[in-house]
Amino acid sequence: MTMTKVKIGIVGTGFIATILAPQIQSSKKARLDAVSSRTLAKAESFVANYPGAIAVEGADHLIARDDVDAVYIATPTSAKEDVASRALTAGKHVLIEKPLHSAASFKRLSALARQKGLLLMDATHFVHHPRTSAMRQRLAALIGAPRSLHTMFYFPFSDRENIRFDPIDEPMGAAGDMAWYSMRAVVEYLAPDALEDIKVFAEWDPHSGAVIRATGVLQFNAGKTATFDVGYTAGAAVMELTVAGTSGILTQDDFVLDWQSGFGFDNPDIQTGFIHRSGLATRNDFAFIETPSERSQHALMIDNFADLIRNGDAAEREIWLSATEKTQVFLDAIWQEIQTQARASPAMTPQVNMRENP
């Protein structure tokens, strides 16, 4: 039996749209139906690579199309809630880029999605790799109760023309862009209930006022803690994760984008999986647990999004809403701490303070 493919429209023609469009087009469960840009010519040149896809001017025209089942929102954070709420109101399912503007912003969207019985999923790729569910399933048997989680995620980046250096388009800068993944790892692997204390140190780009690095520690209830260190300034890519439990430790060295086939990397020979150690094991004794996948994690995200639209029930949709909301709540706490630091040390954050005192 052939199932009807979910018809997806993309809003925005930037970097991440060019990564996801081919995955949508090549999915067995979805197809690329339309692409909107604020500039029609940009949409037209974008769809030239995707036979059958229609170019549209403006998100509203894409959302209004009857043939569009779902909208993938690949805009800067500043535009996300507006586009998403219009799409949900019009009865379209939504795949939305991370981060959200705030937890309050996401809660408004999730209320709308619930009311309309629509799927609202954030576009975090790694949770769709079979490694994530494998590690979650085996975590208790391998390391006991998880107590502490550490992530380090740096990508060398210095293009001040990019939205990452624009505090209007991406208000949380590197914290929103990178610590999103740290907090999602907390939600997936540490699964804490409530945040009790937090301390964060940030670094700002003196020219743009954008946050370019952030390091912090979070304390949760029941003795769980998380540390994170993220940014654009390390001069090398690093994506390390460590989960320490009561009887062992699990690590990944590519937790955000697997080196095998996460976009940006394409190394068929590098296996994807995680490392287990316990006791006084040396590097020679560590066990590598491979978690193979025939499809890349971003291709699987599109398939899972389409599957949930076609077959998912309210309870399944709720799981995704809950994970996004928890991630954003912790990210908001990080951002609040960063703003406190900015107010306390004006010399380090000239632009930030100029904006607060016009």
Ligand X SMILES: NC(=O)c1ccc[n+]([C@@H]2O[C@H](COP(=O)([O-])OP(=O)(O)OC[C@H]3O[C@@H](n4cnc5c(N)ncnc54)[C@H](OP(=O)(O)O)[C@@H]3O)[C@@H](O)[C@H]2O)c1
Are 350 and 209 contacting, i.e. CB atoms less than 8 angstroms apart? Answer: yes
- Would you say the C-alpha torsion 209, 211, 215, 220 has a positive or negative sign? positive
Task: Give me the active site residues, please.
Answer: 98
Beta bridge partners of 30: 6
- Which position among 22, 40, 76, 148 is part of the footprint of ligand X (CB under 6 A)? 76
Phi/psi for 282 (5° steps) reads -95, 175
List alpha helices for the chain, DSSP H: 15-26, 40-47, 59-63, 77-89, 103-116, 130-143, 173-174, 180-185, 297-311, 314-344, 350-356
- Which position among 69, 97, 258, 337 is part of the footprint of ligand X (CB under 6 A)? 97
- Would you say the C-alpha torsion 181, 182, 186, 188 has a positive or negative sign? positive
Total residues at interface with ligand X (CB under 6 A): 21
- Which position among 55, 56, 62, 123 is part of the footprint of ligand X (CB under 6 A)? 123
Are 129 and 254 contacting, i.e. CB atoms less than 8 angstroms apart? Answer: no
Distance CA 180, CA 80 (A): 16
Q: Could you tell me which stretch among 7-15, 60-68, 183-191, 206-214 binds ligand X (CB under 6 A)?
A: 7-15
- Which position among 86, 93, 101, 125 is part of the footprint of ligand X (CB under 6 A)? 125
Stretch 162-221 residues interacting with ligand X (CB under 6 A): 163, 177
- Total length of the chain: 358
Q: Which is nearer to ligand X, 124 or 341 (CB)?
A: 124
Q: Could you tell me which stretch among 31-39, 269-277, 286-294, 318-326 binds ligand X (CB under 6 A)?
A: 31-39
- Residue 315 token pair: 């309870």
Q: Judged by CB under 6 A, does residue 146 bind ligand X?
A: no
- Which position among 23, 25, 75, 291 is part of the footprint of ligand X (CB under 6 A)? 75
Q: Could you tell me which stretch among 35-43, 226-234, 283-291, 329-337 binds ligand X (CB under 6 A)?
A: 35-43
CA distances from 154 to 11, 28, 92, 158, 242 (A): 27, 34, 35, 12, 15
Taking the complex as a whole, the smallest distance from the CB of residue 141 to ligand X amounts, in Å, to: 30
Taking the complex as a whole, the smallest distance from the CB of residue 58 to ligand X amounts, in Å, to: 8
Q: Judged by CB under 6 A, does residue 286 bind ligand X?
A: no
Taking the complex as a whole, the smallest distance from the CB of residue 81 to ligand X amounts, in Å, to: 11
Q: Could you tell me which stretch among 10-18, 134-142, 241-249, 280-288 binds ligand X (CB under 6 A)?
A: 10-18
**Which residue has the closest beta carbon to ligand X?**
14
Q: Could you tell me which stretch among 36-44, 128-136, 223-231, 333-341 binds ligand X (CB under 6 A)?
A: 36-44
- 99 preceded by cis ω (within 30°)? yes
Q: Judged by CB under 6 A, does residue 15 bind ligand X?
A: yes
Distance CA 334, CA 180 (A): 10
Taking the complex as a whole, the smallest distance from the CB of residue 42 to ligand X amounts, in Å, to: 4
Q: Judged by CB under 6 A, does residue 144 bind ligand X?
A: no
- Residue 303 token pair: 């398939």
Helices (H) and strands (E) in the chain, counts: 11, 14
- Which position among 38, 277, 295, 310 is part of the footprint of ligand X (CB under 6 A)? 38
Q: Judged by CB under 6 A, does residue 42 bind ligand X?
A: yes
Distance CA 32, CA 43 (A): 13
Residues that bind ligand X (CB under 6 A): 12-16, 37-39, 42, 74-79, 97-98, 123, 125, 163, 177
